[in-house]
Amino acid sequence: MSATATDTISAKLLDWYDRHARELPWRAAPGVPSPDPYRVWLSEVMLQQTTVAAVAPYFAKFTETWPTVEALAAAPEEEVMAAWAGLGYYSRARNLVKCAREVAAMGGFPATEAELRKLPGLGDYTAAAVAAIAFGERAVVVDANVERVVARLFAIREPLPGSRKAIRAAADEITPEERAGDFAQAMMDLGATICTARDAKCLLCPLSADCRARAEGNPLELPVKPKKKPKPSRTGTAFWIEREEQVWLVTRPGKGMLGGMRALPDDGWSARGDGDDEAPVSGAWKGGGVVRHSFTHFDLELGVAIHAGDEPSPAGEGEWWPVEAIEDAGLPTLFAKAARLVLAGRG
């Protein structure tokens, strides 16, 4: 596109954003000074592979509990992990603490994309988003929504992920020097509300006259995505060990799935079987049902075995947690499902 055309695109989009920007708790309205970098960073980390609706209550809780990056840096990691429970992708929470402590030691967030990228957990997208939105630096911000808008706008037909270089170059072409943060958020909003994956509301789109995919009559065909491979299945067993109205919880190793989180003890989950049966039981154990959970790379069916023998003395390190306060333990979704299953079985 010519320089005039790209300038027109950014002007049209910013004009649309000034009238239709979503009101989000971490966002400053158009024309208002940039928001606190802490709030921008926190929201962007939470929003990775997670919906706005899911993030909003977590963001409110975090900013109420830890209103500044210094407060978050001083928080015990286990408290942050517990508050994060349910958001998934728990490596984000571990990096959140590491990053907060590094930023607090530096005396604040660096203001450039290049320096932000050096912080723990900040990849290309997050560093660009914080630089543009919080500091007004011109940065090319490309998330899944922007990827879709740009692929359609420029009719980029190479399948993902191979097309990402071309998509980024096209996004760079239309990103303005001024109001880069508002432009990035406008692109996100356009992809989230108008140019969606399942619908293209072209009659409402401020860029419809410039959209090559619309001109060709096939916007929903883009971006071209590779065929999904079927997920492997795993099975496993979680163990409910209770005494005196307290349940035995362990802390998972810092590395690996659900690292650093409180959880029920389990058998490590295997790749065997089809997962249709309840947990194997014998002797001091009885079956408590099966919970199903989908991770990014596999599906899991987890049988629950309930200790039904004499007074239990579990091996290894852990803690006794009041059953009535199990919702406060910060269990990841998988183990929260297992706990609810056990408690529901009591009638």
C-alpha 148/C-alpha 195 separation (Å) is: 8
Six-digit token pair at 289?
């049902």
C-alpha 71/C-alpha 177 separation (Å) is: 34
Catalytic-labelled residue, pool 23, 44, 78, 216: 44
Specify whether 44 is catalytic.
Answer: yes
The residue assigned the tokens 């072409």 is 173
Task: State the sign of the Cα–Cα–Cα–Cα dihedral 185, 189, 192, 195.
Answer: negative
Cα–Cα distance list, 107 to 13, 110, 300 (Å): 35, 9, 43
The beta-strand segments (E) located in the chain are: 233-240, 242-243, 246-251, 262-263, 285-294, 299-307, 319-322
- Tell me the three-class secondary structure of 112-141, residue by residue: CHHHHCCCCCCCHHHHHHHHHHHHCCCCCC
Phi first, then psi, for residue 231 (nearest 5°) are: -75, 140
Sequential DSSP letters for 215-277: HHT-GGG-S--PPPPPPPEEEEEEEE-EETTEEEEEE--SSSTTTT-EE--B---BS-S-S-S
C-alpha 158/C-alpha 245 separation (Å) is: 58
Is the CB of residue 239 less than 8 Å from the CB of residue 233? no
Residue length, the chain? 347
Catalytic residues: 44
